[in-house]
A and B are shown apart, each in its own frame.
Chain A
């Protein structure tokens, strides 16, 4: 399956700053990537679908101006949390939609964001 990396693995920032999280597909050209968010003791929730070369599709309740997604190449999608606040502190996970008949998703290791 595809190998997916995320950078950074954890980040601490001050309230009001912006944070960029990178998701890379290391061995697979990914037309579609997904961004998830997981709050403590809760399951993953899909935030947005990132399509290479086009605008991301956001789930209901996710502010597109706050969570900027850029998928400029087939191996890289970035999520920028703008003007981060403590309530944005969460675990952010990206995934890559694999090819083939099964079309499974391959998940990155996640990024822990703490906003002070």
Chain B
């Protein structure tokens, strides 16, 4: 069974800093990997989806990389803002398109 782990569990940074969130998965036979954002008590917002054949995806200040062979993905956030404060989840689907979610990284950006 796929196991997805995220490090760190929590992160607090001053505004303007660049930061990296890490995601690792045990089964490298994935179709894609997706990063989500979840605000407290809210649903999920999809940030980036990387196909298994891709190495990275970019959207605005966000850049996600994927190294399938080592079972790792990183989410890079440039010039962090207080509005970036949220929990960030990575997820990988199995063959049935059922997602396995990571444990999440709770990010706080201090003004």
Contact = CB atoms under 8 A, between A and B. Distances in A.
Interface of A: 1, 6, 32, 34, 42-46, 49, 91, 93, 95, 97, 102-110, 112
Contacts of A91: 41
Contacts of B36: 107
13 contacts: A43-B101, A44-B89, A44-B99, A93-B43, A103-B31, A103-B93, A103-B97, A104-B32, A104-B46, A106-B46, A109-B42, A109-B43, A112-B41
Given A34-B99, A43-B104, A102 B43 contact: no
B97 A97 contact: yes
Chain A contact residues, majority secondary structure:
strand
A50 B101 CA distance: 18
A32 B97 contact: yes
A44 B102 CA distance: 8
B41 A105 contact: no
Nearest to A93: B43
Interface residues of B, number: 23
Nearest to A10: B41
B110 to A, nearest CB: 21
A95 B93 CA distance: 13
Contacts of A110: 41-43
A107 B51 CA distance: 19
